[in-house]
Amino acid sequence: MTSKRILTAALTGAGDTTEKSPHVPITPKEIAHSAIESAKAGAAIAHIHVRDPQTGKLSHDVALFRETVERIREADTDVIINLTAGGGGDFVPNLEDPTRGGPGTDIQTPVQRHEPIGELLPEICTLDCGSLNFGDQVYLGPESWLREHATLIKESGVKPELEVFDTGHIRLANQLIAEGLISENPMYQFCLGIPWGADADRETIEYMRGRIVDGATWSAFGIGRLQLPILIEAAKLGGNVRVGLEDNLYLDKGVFGTNEQLVDKAVNLLQKEQLEPATPEEARALLGLKKPVR
């Protein structure tokens, strides 16, 4: 088993966190700066959502993705860019007419979700592998949409990170692989502790690890106070890891952290287990990525 672990920094996410912590990056400049500083601290991958600079809320604006990506690519960093392609999946039933979405509904087609990926061609993008009761809303990822989306990602030459929030998502991801819609050396991300998906504990990681296809790479993360405990368990079980303000706002109890502080703490925890964070170059080799030409 390699002593290297790929560390992802999930920088800002899509949740209503910008009013809870002063450190959540909002503008393209802030998100790019956080990616660069997280890479200096030891992250090999920067996972990126974008936000409306005026409101701090989730945005799907390709121009914001473009500015963020360009700022990172122009900087003196080798960090791997992983753009979200999972936006526009939120459905909140309208109680007066449950056939329609109520306030908070935000649905995009596979083509719309793929637009920033197809234009900007990051090395990695996410593919959320199924629907889920996500808190008090439903995240929609129908099987037919996933086939279409997986095809678009494959045609673009970008590597999908198969985001699985429950065990059924692994079954669907494996089916996409069997159908040839996912290229070789698939990459799974176990998303744990999110209401109401898979639990965040060692037993769940072991179960999910045992259900992925042979030869795949995998990573796991937990949210909130479980972020660092899951990092340790995943790393000890041979998996890659993720931290960042998308999933957890706190460095310690009651103490807000920055992305780079969380990455630094993750590196220290890995080193206590005699493990080291992979460099971007090492991560590319482990994931079968080709460094983009600038």
- Tens of pLDDT along the chain (294 residues) come to 579 999 999 999 999 999 999 999 999 999 999 999 999 999 999 999 999 999 999 999 999 999 999 999 999 999 999 999 998 999 998 889 988 989 989 999 999 999 999 999 999 999 999 999 988 899 999 999 999 999 999 999 999 999 999 999 999 999 999 999 998 899 999 999 999 999 999 999 999 999 999 999 999 999 999 999 999 999 999 999 999 999 999 999 999 999 999 999 999 999 999 999 999 999 999 999 977 655
Please indicate, yes or no, whether the overall pTM of this predicted structure exceeds 0.85.
yes
Cα distance from N-terminal residue to C-terminal residue, the chain: 33
pLDDT attached to residue 99: 85
CA distance linking residue 60 with residue 85, whole number of Å: 9
Strand locations in 79-216, DSSP E? 80-83, 89-91, 106-107, 124-128, 132-134, 137-139, 159-164, 187-192
Query: Is CATH 3.20.20.70 correct for 4-287?
Result: yes
pLDDT attached to residue 95: 87
Could you state, in order of their start, the residue ranges of all structural domains in the chain? Answer: 4-287
Among 200, 97, 89, which residue's Cα sits nearest to residue 134?
89
